[in-house]
């Protein structure tokens, strides 16, 4: 069944994204009174940009369907997505900015003065990026199928092509204003239909769903029954510590002029994400009222308005949501592809292929898009939140020990960090491969949400190997730490 309004909205979002990417906004404004340099990106604008790139389809569509299916306890997920920024704020935001690193591999190279640590980091950035991009690409297929009835691969290919073309042709132009606008587009798209649904529900006078909020304080219910408390804490650990390692989030912190501004930005992100995540679980709530017997999948949010508000009104609201969801697919995917392509270009393609920077960057972009697209087409569709959760778990088990120890512990060595990251990556991959094949109960819980044991394990390995290899402590370790922790205005005089 084709939904013309939704198709129009999706097409509009896609074409706009393509045009903005290809032609830019001509927005580096020419100024006659030229005091441009004072015009650094303000922390609120930068926070909006982070929000715009961070709020993926998992947030936009995934949470609602989980709340619908499993009840209020899944509201821990948006809590976790937001809390990650609190951890970022407290532990690493300002030092990371002061380090002057643009990406996590840069940070590793700077802090550990080791080329090998940089390469391991780069490979993991690629892994996390692909893992995160995968559900976005698949989700696009699912949404487009829902809207048009076309097969799943169409949507995946549309997003892959638009993002690939944008990144390859426009170079790595990730304009802060455009990304900032994305946040407000998404907030509008999720907010307005929610208000309408709320009004309709109050007028209908339908009873509130029973059982939805029962035990909201309970742990997150997993796909298989198991020790629930473990799942909750493990999920929270993955989300809290994974955020600091997400490649498309880290690069945004570079735009802040100082460490202090980086902190302000993080606080602003907390506010903006908090505002956004108020709305998503509401859709699960309305789903229990209006779509009681519907199957739980990621298109729940899109189906709701049509049922609750029959007629053109409902179609328009659906269209708004579909457009918002597509904007989420496109912005998150392009942020990820940009980061992955940048890393591939810097560390794999350019050092070998002695081509012009533009050519090698295009080759890297192709590699960065094609791989997750092929996997997305070949693999069974994932539930958005599940797959994104794995990207977080991987980032948490690999980058969090590196960054937190790197920022706070002077004795971290290159071999220690590498051992930690490899431990985190291996344990996460093994858990993922084993999950679903082990009996329900503790074994299932440990493999389904591994972060609570992989993160401490990776940290311990990092510490132990660092202590064992104390002879290869980076020569400038203390100077680097001093630099990370000294506010800019203090060092300005020197």
Partner 1 sequence: MDTGWGSTVAIVVIGALIVLAVGWWLLRPRTRPQFVTDRERATYATLHTASVAARHLRGGLAPTEARRAVGPLRELLGTPALALVDRSGLLAWEGAAEDHATQVVDIATSALDTGEVRAVDLPACGDPTCFLRSAVVAPVVAGDRVVAALVAPAPESTPGLTRATEEVADWVATQVDLADLSRQRTRTMEAELRALRAQISPHFIYNSLGAIASFVRTDPDRARELLLEFADFSRYALREGGTFTTLAEELRNVERYLVLEQARFGDRLTVSLKVAPEVLPIRVPFLAIQPLVENAVQHGIAPKESGGRIEIVARDVGTEAEISIDDNGVGADPAVIRQVLDGGADGQDSVGLGNVDARLRQVYGDDLGLVVETAPEAGMRVTFRLPKFAPAALDRP
Rule CB under 8 A: which of 475-494 touch partner 1? Answer: 476, 479, 482-483, 494
Of 13, 41, 96, 317, the one binding partner 1 by CB under 8 A: 41
Size of the site for partner 1 (CB under 8 A): 79
Give the start-end residues of each E strand in 83-236: none
Q: Quick check: 223 binds partner 1 (CB under 8 A)?
A: yes
Name the DSSP letter for residue 35: -
What is the C-alpha separation between 276 and 280, in angstroms, rounded?
7
Question: Which residues between 280 and 309 bind partner 1 (CB under 8 A)?
Answer: none
For partner 1, the binding residues in 424-443 under the rule CB under 8 A are 425, 428-430, 432-437
Nearer to partner 1, 274 or 357 (CB): 357
Stretch that binds partner 1, among 55-63, 238-246, 280-288, 343-351 (CB under 8 A): 343-351
Identify the residue whose tokens are 């270009």: 345
Stretch that binds partner 1, among 1-9, 57-65, 276-284, 340-348 (CB under 8 A): 340-348
Residue 379 makes contact with partner 1 by CB under 8 A: yes
Q: Does 217 bind partner 1 (CB under 8 A)?
A: no
Residue given tokens 């082990």 in the structure block: 438
Q: How far is the CB of 199 from partner 1 (least distance, A)?
A: 33
Taking the least distance from each CB to partner 1, the nearer of 151 and 295 is 295
- Exactly one of 1, 2, 39, 202 binds partner 1 (CB under 8 A); that residue is 39
- Binders of partner 1 among residues 387 to 426 (CB under 8 A) are 387, 390, 394, 425
Biggest distance spanned by C-alpha atoms of the chain: 72
The one segment of 7-15, 192-200, 206-214, 367-375 that binds partner 1 by CB under 8 A = 367-375
3, 147 Cβ separation under 8 angstroms: yes
The separation between CA 357 and the C-alpha centre of its own chain, rounded to angstroms, equals 27
Residues 174-193 that bind partner 1 (CB under 8 A): 174-176
- Would you say 20 or 375 has its CB closer to partner 1? 375
Would you list the DSSP string of 310-331? TTHHHHHHHHHHHHHHHHHHHH
Backbone angles phi, psi at 459, to 5 degrees: -65, -45
Query: Which one of 68, 276, 361, 399 is in contact with partner 1 (CB under 8 A)?
Result: 361
Give the integer Cα–Cα distance in Å for 39 and 219.
Answer: 46
Q: Is 278 helix (H, G, I), strand (E, B) or coil?
A: coil
Query: Angle 62-64-67 (CA atoms, 0-180°, nearest 5)?
Result: 110
421 within 8 A of 124, measured Cβ to Cβ: yes
| Contact residue for partner 1 among 87, 344, 369, 405 (CB under 8 A) | 344
> 107, 266 in Cβ contact below 8 A?
no
Q: Scanning residues 126 to 155, which ones bind partner 1 (CB under 8 A)?
A: 126-127, 130-131, 134
Please, what is the minimum distance in Å from the beta carbon of residue 106 to partner 1? 4
By CB under 8 A, residue 109 contacts partner 1: yes
Total Cβ atoms within 10 A of residue 348 = 18
CB-based contacts of 381: which residues, under 8 Å, 6+ apart?
Answer: 138, 141, 142, 152
255 lines the binding site for partner 1 (CB under 8 A) = yes
Closest CA to 245 of 64, 415, 42, 454: 454
The reply to whether 235 sits near partner 1 by the rule CB under 8 A is: no
Among the listed residues 8, 169, 172, 443, the single contact to partner 1 using CB under 8 A:
172
Q: Which is nearer to partner 1, 179 or 243 (CB)?
A: 179
Report if residue 34 touches partner 1, rule: CB under 8 A: yes
Whole-angstrom distance, CA of residue 13 vs CA of residue 22? 14
Task: Identify which of residues 18 and 348 has a Cβ nearer to partner 1 in the complex.
Answer: 348
């Amino acid at each position: 069944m084709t939904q013309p309004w939704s198709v129009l909205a999706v097409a509009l979002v896609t074409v706009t994204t393509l045009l903005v990417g290809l032609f830019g906004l001509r927005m580096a404004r020419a100024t006659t009174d030229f005091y441009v340099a004072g015009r650094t990106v303000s922390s609120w604008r930068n926070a909006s940009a982070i929000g715009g790139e961070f709020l993926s389809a998992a947030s936009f569509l995934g949470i609602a369907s989980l709340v619908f299916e499993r009840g209020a306890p899944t509201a821990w997920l948006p809590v976790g997505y937001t809390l990650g920024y609190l951890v970022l704020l407290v532990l690493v935001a300002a030092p990371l900015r002061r380090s002057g690193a643009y990406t996590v591999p840069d940070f590793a190279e700077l802090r550990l003065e080791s080329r090998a640590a940089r390469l391991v980091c780069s490979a993991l950035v690629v892994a996390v990026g692909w893992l995160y991009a995968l559900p976005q690409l698949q989700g696009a297929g699912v949404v487009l199928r829902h809207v048009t009835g076309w097969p799943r691969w169409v949507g995946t290919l549309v997003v892959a092509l638009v993002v690939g073309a944008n990144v390859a042709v426009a170079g790595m132009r990730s304009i802060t204003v455009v990304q900032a606008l994305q946040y407000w587009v998404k907030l509008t798209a999720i907010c307005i239909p929610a208000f309408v649904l709320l009004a309709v529900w109050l007028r209908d006078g339908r009873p509130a769903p029973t059982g939805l909020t029962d035990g909201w304080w309970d742990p997150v219910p997993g796909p298989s029954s198991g020790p629930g408390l473990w799942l909750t804490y493990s999920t929270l650990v993955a989300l809290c510590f994974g955020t600091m390692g997400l490649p498309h989030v880290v690069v945004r912190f570079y735009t802040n002029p100082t460490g202090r501004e980086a902190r302000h930005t993080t606080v602003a992100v907390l506010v903006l994400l908090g505002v956004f995540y108020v709305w998503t679980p509401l859709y699960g709530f309305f789903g229990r009222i209006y779509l009681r017997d519907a199957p739980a999948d990621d298109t729940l949010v899109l189906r709701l308005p049509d049922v609750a508000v029959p007629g053109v009104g409902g179609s328009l609201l659906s269209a708004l949501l579909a457009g918002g969801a597509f904007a989420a697919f496109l912005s998150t995917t392009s942020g990820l592809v940009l980061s992955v392509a940048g890393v591939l270009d810097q560390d794999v393609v350019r050092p070998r292929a002695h081509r012009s920077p533009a050519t090698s960057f295009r080759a890297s972009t192709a590699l960065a898009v094609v791989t997750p697209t092929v996997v997305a087409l070949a693999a069974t569709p994932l539930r958005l939140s599940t797959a994104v959760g794995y990207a977080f778990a991987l980032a948490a088990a690999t980058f969090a020990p590196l960054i937190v120890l790197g920022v706070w512990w002077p004795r971290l060595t290159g071999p220690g960090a590498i051992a930690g990251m490899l431990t985190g990556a291996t344990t996460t991959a093994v858990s993922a491969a084993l999950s679903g094949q082990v009996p329900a109960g503790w074994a299932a819980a440990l493999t389904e949400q591994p972060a609570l044991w992989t993160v401490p394990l990776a940290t311990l390995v990092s510490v132990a190997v660092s202590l064992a290899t104390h002879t290869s402590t980076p020569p400038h370790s203390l100077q680097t730490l001093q630099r990370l922790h000294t506010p800019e205005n203090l060092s300005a005089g020197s």
